[in-house]
Amino acid sequence: SFANPEAEEDIACMVAFLAQCQRETPQEPIIVKATDSTLESLMNQAEGLVLLDFWAEWCFACLEAGPALETVAPSFDGQLKVFKIEVDENPVLVNRYAPALSFPCFVLMREGKLVDRRYGIDPTQEPKAFFRTWIHQHLKDPPGVPMPEG
């Protein structure tokens, strides 16, 4: 039996302190790699707007758009999930969602349904501005959601 009152008091204080501490719940990543075999499951778990980013290492425009999308996506505060799909490794998804075989290809989905699709990047528009505007116009309730800046 433990009979030291000072130690018991110290232990009680530590237990009370630890009970008040809350570990931050790790946030689910906003941008996730998807494949022919994983996309369906990932989309079933996703809520809100989903953006499929079809890209390739050999595609200069893809390499320019990727970092812009990675910068902009977190600003939508949980309203957007991005799945990056490498085109050379995922022919089934390319055939289904990017049949024109022009890359990058960006596909917006909601509840498993196609909302919009864009091929390539407009060289006259800055990629971050394009993503901000395009995604914002497809949010479910855009009037109540301020357009993210930055």
**pTM (predicted TM-score):** 0.75
Give the CATH superfamily of 26-142: Glutaredoxin (3.40.30.10)
Which mean pLDDT values do the consecutive 10-residue runs of the chain (150 residues) have?
A: 70 76 63 96 92 97 94 90 97 96 96 93 91 90 42
pLDDT at residue 141, rounded to an integer: 53
59 is catalytic: yes
pLDDT at residue 146, rounded to an integer: 41
pLDDT at residue 145, rounded to an integer: 38
pLDDT at residue 142, rounded to an integer: 46
CA–CA separation, 80 and 46 (whole Å): 9
The single residue of 13, 21, 59, 105 carrying the catalytic annotation is: 59
The single residue of 13, 21, 62, 105 carrying the catalytic annotation is: 62
Give CA angle at 53 (34, 138), nearest 5°.
115
62 is catalytic: yes
